[in-house]
Amino acid sequence: MTSVILQLICPDRPGLVSELSSWIFKNSGNIRHADHHTDEGARLFLSRLEWNLDGFQIPRDAIKAEIHDLANSLGGKAQLHFSDVFPKVAIFVSKQSHCLLDLLGRVSNNELRMKVPLIISNHNSLRESCNQFEVEYNYIPIDNESKLISEKIILDSLVKHNIDLVVLAKYMQILSPNFLKAFPNIINIHHSFLPAFKGAKPYHRAWKRGVKLIGATAHYVTDALDDGPIIDQAIAHISHRDEVDDLIRKGRDIERITLARALTFHLRRQVMVYEGRTAIFA
């Protein structure tokens, strides 16, 4: 059953829960989930409301305009989603296959509410692994000189496929600020518990430091490297017996689970981003 999902952020004041829920009720909407959070420091009110489209008095096409007016009247911003619209996701990958195959497997299992029409890689080595899935595999090499041109080709590819979201599934390249400006909707999996071990080779540095646990962090990408809003984090225990290769091996499991969890939250529209952080209504 299709549901309508409203995400709204506005300045906090009394009566907001009542106003929003009454608006839905008077239009005959049956609320399935109503989640709210007040950030008292920031004086912001966050709301996520999900109700059945079936029986709702406002026609599907007209809801967006009404929501827009509602948000304006509250001095806030709203996003509207329908649960039967599966976003088109491009997965970026380098040589490591574990996150990519994990995501494609979950899509096949109907576990993730997304379509994956496009894979972008700076290597050609995972092409064959993707054969069984109906997906275009674009091999676009990238190096410091070619970066500008390569990113232009990638952006064209995203436009051509109407991509809504990019997932960096162990794509070992740093996207330029220009790229992020042109396409800002990106989720990355980083192989450390941020903010520890930002940047390259976190497992090597974790091993060197002698930590007893390693981590993985799924986050939205921003200009500042590995500093975007965190969606989910997980850790694995390690011991002195573990060499760097063992950290990498153990890390693969938390990387793909953390990325899949974060994507699940995102695709169910349970994530709200504000002030460089996230609220997860799950």
| Interface residues toward a copy of itself, by CB under 8 A | 14-19, 21-22, 24-26, 28-38, 40, 97-98, 101, 105, 108-109, 111, 128-129, 131-132, 193-197, 209-213, 215, 229-235, 239-241, 243, 249, 252-253, 257, 260, 276-280, 282
CA distances from 222 to 177, 236, 252 (A): 8, 26, 23
Q: Report the nearest approach of a copy of itself to the CB of residue 91 (Å).
A: 16
Question: Whole-angstrom Cα distance, residue 218 to residue 194?
Answer: 9
Nearest CA to 57 out of 30, 81, 28 is that of: 28
Q: Report the nearest approach of a copy of itself to the CB of residue 277 (Å).
A: 3
**Helix, strand, coil share (%) of the chain residues, nearest 5:** 30, 30, 40
Do 78 and 67 form a contact (C-beta atoms < 8 A)?
A: yes
Q: Report the nearest approach of a copy of itself to the CB of residue 98 (Å).
A: 7
Identify the bridge partners of residue 79 per DSSP, sorted by sequence position: 7
Which entry of 39, 69, 143, 226 is annotated as an active-site residue? 226
Query: Considering beta carbons, is residue 85 or 213 the nearer one to a copy of itself?
Result: 213
Query: Considering beta carbons, is residue 5 or 163 the nearer one to a copy of itself?
Result: 5
Query: Considering beta carbons, is residue 78 or 260 the nearer one to a copy of itself?
Result: 260
Q: Which amino acid is at 126?
A: L
Query: Considering beta carbons, is residue 80 or 196 the nearer one to a copy of itself?
Result: 196
Q: Which amino acid is at 156?
A: D
Question: Whole-angstrom Cα distance, residue 259 to residue 169?
Answer: 8
Q: What is the pairing mode between strands 31-39 and 230-237?
A: unpaired
**Residue 246 bears catalytic tag:** no
Question: Whole-angstrom Cα distance, residue 219 to residue 221?
Answer: 6
Query: Considering beta carbons, is residue 150 or 233 the nearer one to a copy of itself?
Result: 233
| Active centre residues (catalytic) | 226
